[in-house]
Amino acid sequence: MGSDPGEDYMATILPNHPHLTASKLSTGLVSAVGLLGLALFSQNVFANTDNSLCNFKNGDVFTEICGYVEASAVQVGKPMRVHVSSTTPDFAINIQRAGNKDPDAVSRFAFSAAGNHKPSAISYNGLNWGAGYNVNIPSDWKSGIYELSFNNGRGDYSEFVAIKSSQPGTHSKVLVLDSLPTKIAYSPIGGKSMYGFNSTNGQASATVSMERPTGRGQWTEHREFVTWLDQQGIIYEAASMMDLHRDPSLLSQYNLVILIGHNEYWSKEMRDNWDNYLAAGGNGAIFSGNTMWWQVRFSSDNKQMICYKNANNDPLKNDNNRVTVNWFNSPIHRPENLSTGVSFRHGGYANYTEGASNHYLNEGFTVTDASHWAFEGTGLSNQGVFGHKTVGYEVDGALFKMVDGKPVVIGGDGTPTNFQILATTPAFAINSPSGIPGIVPNNHNGQGWGTLGVFKPTATSGTVFVAPTISWASGLNDPQVGRITRNVIDRLRHRTQQAPSSGGTTDTGTSTNTGSSNATTPNNTSSGTQVVVQTSTGGGGGSLPLSALLLGLLAMVGLKARKS
């Protein structure tokens, strides 16, 4: 174990992970029985003998239809290009704003001439599912996270996509970013991901195609968060991390940029643009864990993502700006704390099981400064605990010590010393720099902690609120978690950080509804079901969920995604 970037660590990736219990497979001696069980399991799970179109190696298996979106930008008023594999030539794509279950808000696009393309074990660098199909996004649609449901009458498959505004910032000054590179990194479609646990022969790939299905489970947190935003009447726009990679000016159109869920893989362009936005006075809200962990780079056409995770293996090992290792590690030496205030190496796993030992199960955040504006209206006091559903399965933290009973950041890890810790949660520091999992000698109590707080990267920067956990969105229906989230958005949607008025306007990112939990703003993109018939060559899909069997096997052998 330890901080060697070439080592692997475990993290659960399941179709849905609202509040998971993770377990670790020791990198030390493994019993012969355990190896035999894993080998037998691998023959069934990793072998391409299931006749599926998309097998995500986690219980989600699709045998009838599957699809993906091309790597180009997806924007209101422009065509979105998709590729499909289907067991029937005719299929449809039903598109709906994520979280909106109103059947009258579905737009249906019908197609024909789909091909039946089965991914080979070596197609992770490009599936080549025939010619693509153009889905023309109407110019009156609102930017947001949308669900694409591929259906051919035999089965269905869902992808999600961030549709960018044609004029960023005109509808709302609040932007939600997806975490597409991270979702692609974990996708095993085509035989390999960037992790050994779900790759053929147990060997990860340093290069994967961005044009592959991602799997519905990886969008859980985004779906939950934007559904809550719509229910609260909080108007937002959305964009992809790839939009951030391509466009240095994108974030300048917004006052608040929100990160959600699991946003682990960042290019230099993404990070530079995030840092420059904050330095220019923009605000950020991080409702995400394991954030900004790896530096990646992309091919010139942005269709391939590259991450060697070991400088010695990277052809650009002598380029300190482009080598693909952890941001904090050599030779980059640019700790993510500078940009996010926290790091996974000083946080770790929460709700975590190792053999017979349980690490911090059912923990919440313990308040350390109840007077802060983030807690206004929550009824919380110091030492109060909230958010049991939000903690895990990975949390990030800043090194700190206790001074007069209050946590104070040390700053030696790159965290700005103005970082104000508002709440903490214990964590098992699997990636501790000490090299001993769980032991962080220079941190409070010698262990890992998740640290919720607020900071400015520099004295003149915008403000960043950090709730450093993957599962924050799972707790939004908790009144205290929901109120904290609302406080953050209402405060930071203004660049001046002045207290907002009770009402709002669309151009600052909220509707005139002030956010009762019962308020709803559907933001429907159509008044009824829209049918568009298009024909192309190539492309099709369907689903056969085998979650009961495979998830049972997962539980039996304790197979987890490796944190490499």
**Tens digit of each residue's pLDDT, the chain (564 residues):** 333 333 333 333 333 333 333 333 333 333 333 333 333 334 344 444 467 999 999 999 999 999 999 999 999 999 999 999 999 999 999 999 998 888 888 999 999 999 998 887 777 888 889 889 999 999 999 999 999 999 999 999 999 999 999 999 999 999 999 999 999 999 999 999 999 999 999 999 999 999 999 998 899 999 999 999 999 999 999 999 999 999 999 999 999 999 999 999 999 999 999 999 999 999 999 999 999 999 999 999 999 999 999 999 999 999 999 999 999 999 999 999 999 999 999 999 998 776 777 778 889 999 999 999 999 999 999 999 999 999 989 999 999 999 999 999 999 999 999 999 999 999 999 999 999 999 999 999 999 999 999 999 999 999 999 999 999 999 999 999 999 999 999 999 999 744 333 333 334 443 333 233 333 333 333 333 334 443 333 322 233 333 333 333 333 333 334 355
- Residue 535, token pair as written in the block: 């024909």
How far is the C-alpha of 278 from the C-alpha of 284, rounded, in Å? 7
**Amino acid, single-letter form, for residue 75:** Q
pLDDT at 50: 61
pLDDT at 307: 98
**Amino acid, single-letter form, for residue 100:** N
Long-range contacts of 41-50 (CB under 8 A, 24+ apart): 41/553, 41/557, 41/559, 42/202, 44/553, 45/550, 45/553, 45/559, 46/198, 46/199, 46/200, 46/201, 46/202, 48/120, 48/121, 48/191, 48/200
Residue where the block lists tokens 């864990």: 289
> Comparing C-alpha atoms, which of 180, 209, 212, 207 is closest to residue 84?
212
How many CB atoms are closer than 10 A to CB 21? 18
How far is the C-alpha of 535 from the C-alpha of 529, rounded, in Å? 19
How far is the C-alpha of 141 from the C-alpha of 75, rounded, in Å? 10
How far is the C-alpha of 23 from the C-alpha of 355, rounded, in Å? 8
Contact status, residue 342 vs residue 466, Cβ threshold 8 Å: yes
Spell out a b/e string for 87-116, using b for 16 or more CB atoms within 10 Å of the CB, else e.
bbeebbbbbbbbbbeeeebbbbbebebbbb
> Comparing C-alpha atoms, which of 475, 456, 452 is closest to residue 464?
456
Contact status, residue 82 vs residue 70, Cβ threshold 8 Å: yes
Helix ranges restricted to H, 177-262: 180-186, 220-232, 241-246
Cis peptide before 479 (omega within 30 of 0): no
Q: Which residues contact 172 (CB under 8 A, 6 or more apart)?
A: 143, 235, 236, 237, 506, 507, 508, 509
Helix ranges restricted to H, 302-424: 337-340
How far is the C-alpha of 226 from the C-alpha of 510, rounded, in Å? 13
The helix (H) or strand (E) run that includes residue 557 is: helix 547-557
Contact status, residue 264 vs residue 292, Cβ threshold 8 Å: yes
pLDDT at 327: 98
Residue where the block lists tokens 């060559």: 537
How many CB atoms are closer than 10 A to CB 351? 24
How far is the C-alpha of 295 from the C-alpha of 308, rounded, in Å? 9
How far is the C-alpha of 11 from the C-alpha of 253, rounded, in Å? 35
How many CB atoms are closer than 10 A to CB 250? 22
Spell out a b/e string for 454-477, using b for 16 or more CB atoms within 10 Å of the CB, else e.
bbbbeeebbbbbbbbbbbbbbbbe
How far is the C-alpha of 411 from the C-alpha of 416, rounded, in Å? 6
